Amino acid sequence: MRGLLLPLSLVLAAAATAGLVLIVLRRPSPAAPAPQGTDAIELWSPDLPAVRERELRPYQTTLTLAEDLRDALPGPPAVLEQELWRVSRSLKNKANWTLEKLARQEASPRVRALLVLAAGVHVPDTAPLLRFLNDPHPTVRTAAVLACGHRDEGPAKASLFGTIAVPVGRRPADTARADLAQRHGQEKDSSVRAAIDAVLSGAR
């Protein structure tokens, strides 16, 4: 009888040990502390918003700015005028490239006119701008004229598309004035002639 009890006690002891091991293995381990500092990974929790709002600087190129002008064309004139001068400020450092490349390749006369005015005000009296005085479309020629005479807070106003008021009053260089006077004598479109008159008469 004593011989049977000894193996039974060993079996019970082994079972008890196995049970303790199982309990220890099932017990959840304490969560590791989140790393600190700038490299810490933010863990999701129900208290955090699903999407964090971020302020991103819009990516702009001369192409995207041209598309902004194109998109604004069907809208109200006040919005188009505001967009024109916003784009103009953004094109200040790329004015020559815009006139030499982008504007010359633009198929839409109205978008081309907006690009010529927006970029041309930064490089008046230059060949890249004055070449547009010979553009086949009157709106583009008008834009080139107004760019030559544009002056912030100028004393006179001229019109592009009949809706955008452009301040003029800058005196073009002598060569540009000669080009404008010659164009006036050849010009058949009344809106272009009116723009030339506004620039030459309002120049100071």
Tens-level pLDDT at each residue, the chain (204 residues): 444 444 555 545 555 565 554 554 555 554 444 444 333 333 334 443 443 333 444 556 888 899 999 999 999 999 999 999 999 999 999 999 999 999 999 999 999 999 999 999 999 999 999 999 999 999 999 999 999 999 998 888 899 999 999 999 999 999 999 999 999 999 999 999 999 999 998 765
Q: Which residues pair with 138 in a beta bridge?
A: none
- Provide the token pair at 174: 């002598």
Query: Rounded CA gap, 5 and 3, in Å?
Result: 6
3-state percent helix, strand, coil for the chain, nearest multiple of 5: 60, 5, 35
Query: What secondary structure letter does DSSP report for 120?
Result: H
- Kindly state whether residue 16 falls inside one of the protein's structural domains: no
> How far is the first Cα of the chain from the last one, in angstroms, to the nearest whole number?
128
Cβ atoms of 73 and 110 within 8 Å: the answer is yes
- Kindly state whether residue 35 falls inside one of the protein's structural domains: no
Q: What is the span of the domain harbouring residue 111?
A: 62-202
Task: Tell which residue, 149, 153, 146, has the closest CA to residue 173.
Answer: 149
- Kindly state whether residue 115 falls inside one of the protein's structural domains: yes
- Kindly state whether residue 33 falls inside one of the protein's structural domains: no
- Kindly state whether residue 93 falls inside one of the protein's structural domains: yes
The strand pair at 164-168 and 156-160 is best described as: antiparallel
- Kindly state whether residue 154 falls inside one of the protein's structural domains: yes
Query: Rounded CA gap, 80 and 188, in Å?
Result: 27
- Kindly state whether residue 176 falls inside one of the protein's structural domains: yes
Backbone dihedral angles phi then psi of residue 76, each to the nearest 5 degrees: -65, 145
Per the structure, the count of domains in the chain is: 1
Backbone dihedral angles phi then psi of residue 103, each to the nearest 5 degrees: -65, -40
- Kindly state whether residue 143 falls inside one of the protein's structural domains: yes
Query: What is residue 115's three-state secondary structure?
Result: helix
